[in-house]
Chain A
Amino acid sequence: MEIVIYGVINSVTLVLMALGFTLVYGVSRLPNFAHGALYVVAGYLTWIFMNRLGLNYGLSVLFALIVTGLIGAAIYQFVLIRVRGMPISEIIASYAIGLAILEGLRWGGLKGSTFTLPPFVEGSVEILGVSVDFQRLLVVLIGAVMMSSLWLFVTRTRLGLALKGMAQDERAALTLGIDSDRMAVVAMALGSGLAGLAAVTLFPLGNIVVEAGYNVLIMAVAVCIVGGLGSWTGAVLAAFLIGFAQILTVVYLGAHFQVVVALIAIIITLVLRPSGLFGRQKELEERV
């Protein structure tokens, strides 16, 4: 029972981590390797707003999300826009930005004392004989709400449909008057905001540390590759696959192997089915 409950929680955690990354890649074919850095930035900003500026929790989360979104948009608008269409340059540039942010934070901000965010709701509850604290339940809840509202957003709203149009066929979308670059900026802002949301939901479970940025990046990439880059159903499915596999290895093999699972999953997927579980775009041409 424990395995099932913690498996679900772990899987939803992975979904939250990966959602922003897969959104940006799905819309603009831009592998945003600064994703992990934005995640840490959001957590750190929330902490700053709360402890240095004395705002209340809800307000600081809100501001942190907005600022993170703006940072994401700025990264695209001022840097990445110049290397669009050169995949390797995109990766190197965004990874370098992420590295600069993370290591800059390690040097200038996140050092010395430990940085923690309080959980939204204290306490724990017993479900089917397993005790689960409210924050973890909230993670599942927020994850579910995010997934469904994102789905509603891309199928019901004008902006969402424009984003989806870009994802499916950039040229056709251009002929219909959808501005490619503006949509990419919106996607980056939204994706960064999602990374921030994941951060403020997940950081109360532990400390705000720089290493979280690298872990989140690895996990987001793992989930997206296994699920098929740019496919949201695939990402969710892959998150559950990897999430349960991780919990199983932790229970039966030991905690050391938790990250290895994700890496092995990536390698197996790329070797056996390079386009991922649900990837359909130009399989043969692009990858193999």
Chain B
Amino acid sequence: MAVEQKDRRKERLDRGIKVRSDGVYAIASWAEISYLVAPRLIFILGLLAAPILLTPVPYWQKVLSIICIYSLLAISFDFLANYVGLVSLGGGFYIGVGAYVAALLNMKLGAPIFITIPAATVVGAAICTVFFLPCLPLRGVYFAIVSLMFPLLAARVIEALDIFGGTDGIVGVDGFSSVWMEQYLLIIAVLLSVFFLRRMITEDVGLVFSGVKDNDQAVKASGINITRYKALGIFIASSLGCFGGAVLSHIYMWAGISQFALDFSIIPIAATVVGGGGTLIGPVIGCLILVPISELLRDFGTLRIAVYAIILTMFIVYKSEGIMVFASRKYEQFERWVSI
């Protein structure tokens, strides 16, 4: 780290093109339009093209699916933590509930994939919301601890009562008919959820959410039921997770206790911290970096958990803004030293 000199400070100014493209001049010339559109288009097209580019290596196609599932969870974590003010460490619970609901619908009722996945998304999210309802008055650290307990509790209960197949899980769930369908279903889900959540946070309901985050007493005083809004936030977030879980159970053709595992709670958090919290796109970028690292380290067994725990620590301690915030600052502003 460079030593700061006393008689100077860093000045940050918006770039001219950024200021112009904020307003009506955005469509003044191709430069402004491409300044706005290029980063988004690169991201969207890149994600859409990825399955085609990865065709020669089917293993990494599978990894892409896993990346998308983790991204959905990370987006939901980011949304809950930075826009609703609920830090939920229980990502594994959403995945597990979604996976079990989809597997049960498929095995017991014989429902086909295009029914089980939407049904598991909605029903699973409703189940998660009902379970979290008693904990919604809690804030901050306390909510975090309770939500961390939920996946552990669910796994132990299934194990102890020996329901839903017990420790073996539910085997023989239908698989996807083609790998393309699985990939594009997930990629489109990621893109749509980023798109809609980014718009929702500037709508009225988004404003109430951030009010609940910043000062819930004030929101309460305006006659708004904060528990209802928190429940709505949980519903939205857990529906993303349950969707991921449902797809996961169809990919592995199996639903089991390990889908409540700690991995699903930790990687999304690490991805959000690395990618940049509060941006909703940052978590996806974080997953694109962390999940491949974790796949490359698969041979080393549990060392990979240690590795991304260390990455997480480094980021949260030394670079807590994350990649996305850093990159968009560089993209929108220039910095220079000014003497005082």
A147 at the binding interface (Cβ < 8 Å):
no
Closest to A225 in B: B145
Q: Mark B298-314, 1 if CB is under 8 A from A, else 0.
A: 00111101100110110
- Report the bound CA distance from A87 to B160 in whole Å: 34
Residues of B within 8 A of A88 (CB): 81, 87, 140-141, 144
Q: Which of B46-54, B65-73, B148-156, B198-206 contacts A (4 or more CB under 8 A)?
A: B148-156
B137 at the binding interface (Cβ < 8 Å):
yes
Residues of A within 8 A of B303 (CB): 103-104, 107-108
Are A92 and B138 interface neighbours, CB within 8 A? no
Closest to A87 in B: B141
A99 at the binding interface (Cβ < 8 Å):
yes
Are B135 and A270 interface neighbours, CB within 8 A? yes
Are B313 and A93 interface neighbours, CB within 8 A? yes
Choose from A99, A108, A263, A267 the contact partner of B309 (Cβ within 8 Å): A99
B170 at the binding interface (Cβ < 8 Å):
no
A288 at the binding interface (Cβ < 8 Å):
yes
A254 at the binding interface (Cβ < 8 Å):
yes
- Which residues of A in the span 256-288 have a Cβ within 8 Å of any Cβ on B? 256-257, 259-260, 263-264, 266-267, 270-271, 274, 286-288
- Report the bound CA distance from A23 to B235 in whole Å: 37
Are B309 and A100 interface neighbours, CB within 8 A? yes
A82 at the binding interface (Cβ < 8 Å):
yes
- Which residues of A in the span 99-113 have a Cβ within 8 Å of any Cβ on B? 99-101, 103-104, 106-108
Given contacts A97-B313, A107-B301, A257-B160, contact A287 B142 (CB under 8 A): yes
B325 at the binding interface (Cβ < 8 Å):
no
Are A260 and B140 interface neighbours, CB within 8 A? no
- Report the bound CA distance from A11 to B153 in whole Å: 21
B316 at the binding interface (Cβ < 8 Å):
yes
Are B320 and A89 interface neighbours, CB within 8 A? yes
Given contacts A106-B302, A270-B135, contact A100 B159 (CB under 8 A): no
Give the one of A91, A96, A104, A108 with max B CB within 10 A: A96
A20 at the binding interface (Cβ < 8 Å):
no
Interface of B is mostly: helix
Choose from A91, A100, A257, A288 the contact partner of B139 (Cβ within 8 Å): A288
B39 at the binding interface (Cβ < 8 Å):
no
Give min CB distance, A77 to chain B, whole Å.
12
Are B316 and A93 interface neighbours, CB within 8 A? yes
Are B149 and A256 interface neighbours, CB within 8 A? no
Number of interface residues of B (CB under 8 A): 38
Given contacts A267-B134, A288-B139, contact A79 B159 (CB under 8 A): no
Give the one of A218, A221, A263 with max B CB within 10 A: A263
- Report the bound CA distance from A225 to B146 in whole Å: 10
Give min CB distance, A278 to chain B, whole Å.
16
B102 at the binding interface (Cβ < 8 Å):
no
A3 at the binding interface (Cβ < 8 Å):
no
- Report the bound CA distance from A97 to B142 in whole Å: 20
A7 at the binding interface (Cβ < 8 Å):
no
B273 at the binding interface (Cβ < 8 Å):
yes
Are B317 and A103 interface neighbours, CB within 8 A? no
Q: Mark B171-202, 1 if CB is under 8 A from A, else 0.
A: 00000000000000000000000000000000
B269 at the binding interface (Cβ < 8 Å):
yes
- Report the bound CA distance from A274 to B81 in whole Å: 21
Residues of B within 8 A of A91 (CB): 141, 144
A31 at the binding interface (Cβ < 8 Å):
yes
- Report the bound CA distance from A257 to B157 in whole Å: 8
Given contacts A92-B312, A103-B302, contact A270 B160 (CB under 8 A): no
- Report the bound CA distance from A88 to B141 in whole Å: 6
Choose from A83, A89, A100, A288 the contact partner of B138 (Cβ within 8 Å): A288
Are B141 and A100 interface neighbours, CB within 8 A? no
Given contacts A107-B303, A263-B149, A263-B153, contact A97 B137 (CB under 8 A): no
B107 at the binding interface (Cβ < 8 Å):
no
Give min CB distance, B294 to chain A, whole Å.
12
B266 at the binding interface (Cβ < 8 Å):
yes
Give the one of A99, A101, A257, A267 with max B CB within 10 A: A99
Given contacts A106-B302, A260-B156, contact A267 B140 (CB under 8 A): no
Closest to B131 in A: A267
Residues of B within 8 A of A93 (CB): 312-313, 316-317
**Shortest 8 CB-CB contacts between residues of A and residues of B:** A256-B160, A100-B309, A99-B309, A103-B305, A103-B306, A104-B306, A96-B309, A107-B303
Point out residues on A near B: beta carbons under 8 Å. Answer: 31, 79, 82-83, 87-89, 91-93, 96-97, 99-101, 103-104, 106-108, 218, 221, 225, 254, 256-257, 259-260, 263-264, 266-267, 270-271, 274, 286-288
Additional pairs, 12, CB under 8 Å, beyond known A267-B135, A270-B138: A79-B317, A87-B141, A93-B313, A96-B270, A99-B309, A218-B149, A225-B142, A256-B160, A260-B157, A270-B142, A271-B135, A287-B138
Can you give 5 contacting A-B residue pairs, CB < 8 Å? A92-B273, A93-B313, A93-B317, A103-B306, A264-B153
Point out residues on B near A: beta carbons under 8 Å. Answer: 81, 87, 134-135, 137-142, 144-146, 149, 152-153, 156-157, 159-160, 266, 269-270, 273, 300-303, 305-306, 309-310, 312-313, 316-318, 320
